[in-house]
Amino acid sequence: MALLSKKDSNLILDPLADNNPITIQVLGICSALAITAELNASIVMALSVIFVLGLGNVVISLMRNIIPSKIRIIVQLVVVATLVIIVDQVLKAFAYELSKTLAVFVGLIITNCIIMGRFEAFALGNGPWRSFLDGIGNAAGYGLILIIVGFFRELLGSGTLLGFPVLGDPIAKTGLYAIGYENNGFMLLSPMALIVVGIIIWVQRTRNPALVEEN
Amino acid sequence: MAINKEKNTYTVIFAALMVVVVGSVLAYLASALRERIRENERFEKQQNILYAMGVNQNDGPGAVSFIPTDRVEVEFGNYIKEQLVIEGDQITRDDEAYLIDMKKQLDVLKNGGTPKLPVFIGEKDGKKYHIVPMYGKGLWDAIWGFIALDDKMVVQGVYFDHKGETPGLGANIKARYFMDDFTGETIMDGTEYAGISVAKGNNDPVNENKEDNEVDALAGATITGNGVSAMIKKTVTLYKGYLETLRNKG
């Protein structure tokens, strides 16, 4: 007996690959461009979104039968903003250092279109447990792309990973730099995130032609 | 269910209830946690001021490491010998000067008033540091920090922080490699209070030239960098009178 039924486990696994929010649904691109210059920031953002989307989906799902449809978008915004503020305040009081690290992500989480998108498309029509799985799955799919993009941008742009120099020292000319390698500063700028996402989409669709839309 | 959810009355009642519930939860949380948060912010300010004068736990190159919060109160008292408030021509001592909010003081200045400008005088290994707070604008939101100067207007250390600069780009103004570059730079250009510019094309990435009033910029963070330059320039102009007396004495 598996822990999750096949239908339920697909809720988590689908968004990781064939229904990825970034590469297939093209949601959440804005934050994928903005904060992936470093692997560290990508990981923090991925974890925050997993937390907020998992919890938010459950809350919206529990309220789904009482939310008036006319103001449902506002209700969704209030729910996600409240969750984020509560987390922010509690961290500020009990884990101040961590809250400093996360402070810059707060605005980016509230406005992340994947969160609103999953509330609207899934949590409003499904029960809490399935909504929770869907939230975790989609946020993980989003986080996965963020981490891949962050990995390449930091490696090629700064020659470091998580802040540790892995290719040698560019100023003292050691490691790869000794044989004339240079960091590509262009990788640090947002357009290159778009190109990396584009390459991921290309690779993904080449491996699975079923994903290519008919014209 | 008997309730018609499409009716306007239902919508209005729902919205009103939601506002009351969410409002009370957040208000309760804010007042319950206020004391703790204030205390954390106070410790942070002390840590930042000490960091600027080089009292920190940095170990080799790498991460920024402050004096731990449980010791910072005591260390702050040990290292910061005097806290002054400059108000126009008057200089007074005030042991709570570090709690002055620079943003409010700059607003006072903008409205034509006389701001209260704090200066912290620190002493470490027999050397005197004059630490002044800074406040400015980055790309998205506020940036602030502290700069520690000696009598000759040479920077002994800085600390920068920000509210919402882009992670990985502008947010790196609080990274060691950026802040460390300021140490040893002079804010003087001859007799001019020039400040220090964050420059893109200064051809000095290792920062060997300490007299050029420039440090190397962060790639992809032009506007945050310009904000830092403007903030330093504004601060040295603001404190010019005080710094001038120091310079003439020393």
Residue by residue, pLDDT tens for chain A (215 residues) are 456 777 888 888 888 878 888 888 888 888 888 788 888 888 888 888 899 899 999 999 999 998 888 888 899 989 988 988 888 888 888 888 777 777 777 777 888 888 888 999 999 999 999 999 999 999 999 999 999 999 999 899 888 888 788 888 777 778 888 888 888 878 888 888 899 999 999 999 888 888 777 76
B204-245: pLDDT as tens digits: 777 777 788 888 888 888 999 999 999 999 999 999 889 988
Q: How many whole angstroms separate alpha carbon A187 and alpha carbon A98?
A: 27
Distance of CA B128 to the CA centre of its chain: 20
Q: Does B29 touch chain A (CB under 8 A)?
A: yes
B221-232: pLDDT as tens digits: 899 999 999 999
Identify the CA nearest to A40 among candidates A200, A153, A141, A135: A153
Phi-psi region of B234 (alpha: psi -120 to 50; beta: other; left: phi over 0): alpha
On whether residue A135 sits in a domain, the answer given is yes
Where along chain B do its domains lie?
43-249
Residue numbers of the domain that contains A168: 19-205
Q: Does B33 touch chain A (CB under 8 A)?
A: yes
Q: Does B37 touch chain A (CB under 8 A)?
A: yes
Contacts of B167 in chain A (CB under 8 A): 34-35, 37-38, 41, 44-45, 104-105
Residue B161, min C-alpha distance to chain A (Å):
10
CA dihedral A201, A207, A208, A209 (to 10 degrees): 90
Residues of chain A whose C-beta is under 8 A from some C-beta in B?
34-38, 40-41, 44-45, 65-71, 74-75, 78, 82, 85-86, 89-90, 92-94, 96, 100, 103-105, 107, 150, 154, 157, 163, 171, 185, 188-190
Q: How many whole angstroms separate alpha carbon B192 and alpha carbon B195?
A: 9
Q: What are phi and psi of B147, to 5 degrees?
A: -130, 130
Q: How many domains does chain A have?
A: 1
Q: What are phi and psi of B129, to 5 degrees?
A: -125, 135
Lowest mean pLDDT: which of A43-52, B2-11, B25-34?
Answer: B2-11
B134-156: pLDDT as tens digits: 999 999 899 999 999 998 889 99
| Residue B1 scores a pLDDT above 60 | no
Contact assignment for B36 to A94 by CB distance below 8 Å = yes
Contact assignment for B18 to A78 by CB distance below 8 Å = yes
Is residue B63 exposed (0-12), middle (13-18) or buried (19+ Cβ within 10 Å)?
Answer: exposed
In percent, the amount of chain B with pLDDT more than 90 equals 46
Q: A182 or B42, which is more confident?
A: B42
On whether residue A96 sits in a domain, the answer given is yes
Which of B5, B163, B220 is closest, CB to CB, to A103?
B163
3-class SS string, chain A:
CCCCCHHHHHHHHHHHCCCCCCCCCCCCHHHHHHCCCCHHHHHHHHHHHHHHHHHHHHHHHHHCCCCCHHHHHHHHHHHHHHHHHHHHHHHHHHCHHHHHHHHHHHHHHHCCHHHHHHHHHCHHHCCHHHHHHHHHHHHHHHHHHHHHHHHHHHHHHHCEECCEECCCCCCCCCHHHHHCCCCCHHHHCHHHHHHHHHHHHHHHHHHCHHHCCCC
On whether residue A12 sits in a domain, the answer given is no
Contact assignment for B169 to A68 by CB distance below 8 Å = no
| Residue B247 scores a pLDDT above 70 | yes
Q: Is residue B141 helix, strand or coil?
A: coil
Residue A37, min C-alpha distance to chain B (Å):
5
**CB crowding A152-174: b at 16 or more within 10 Å, else e:** bbbbbbbbbbeeeeebbebeeee
pTM for the predicted model, two decimal places: 0.76
Confidence of residue B111 (pLDDT cuts 50, 70, 90): very high
Contact assignment for B37 to A92 by CB distance below 8 Å = yes
pLDDT at res. A1? 44
Q: How many whole angstroms separate alpha carbon A68 and alpha carbon B117?
A: 53
Nearest CA in chain A to B23: A82
Length of chain A (residues): 215
Q: Is residue B120 helix, strand or coil?
A: strand
Identify whether the C-beta of residue A62 lies closer than 8 Å to the C-beta of residue A75: no
Two structure tokens written together for A40: 């560290």
Q: How many whole angstroms separate alpha carbon B163 and alpha carbon A88?
A: 13
Identify whether the C-beta of residue A105 lies closer than 8 Å to the C-beta of residue A48: yes
Contact assignment for A82 to B26 by CB distance below 8 Å = yes
pLDDT at res. A26? 82
Residues 6+ apart with CB under 8 A from A41: A35, A150, B167, B168, B171
**Average pLDDT for B2-27:** 88
Contacts of A71 in chain B (CB under 8 A): 11, 14-15
pLDDT at res. B89? 83
Q: How many whole angstroms separate alpha carbon B240 and alpha carbon B195?
A: 11
pLDDT at res. A22? 85
pLDDT at res. B145? 94
Contact assignment for B37 to A36 by CB distance below 8 Å = no
In percent, the amount of chain B with pLDDT more than 70 equals 97
Give the ipTM of the model, two decimals please: 0.73
On whether residue A3 sits in a domain, the answer given is no
Residues 6+ apart with CB under 8 A from A21: A15, A27, A28, A114, A117, A138, A141, A142
List C-alpha distances in Å: B209 to B53, B183, B206, B212. 21, 12, 9, 6
Q: How many whole angstroms separate alpha carbon A135 and alpha carbon A139?
A: 6
Contact assignment for B167 to A75 by CB distance below 8 Å = no
Contact assignment for B5 to A188 by CB distance below 8 Å = no
Compute the count of residue pairs across chains A and B with CB atoms less than 8 Å apart. Answer: 95
Q: Is residue B109 helix, strand or coil?
A: helix
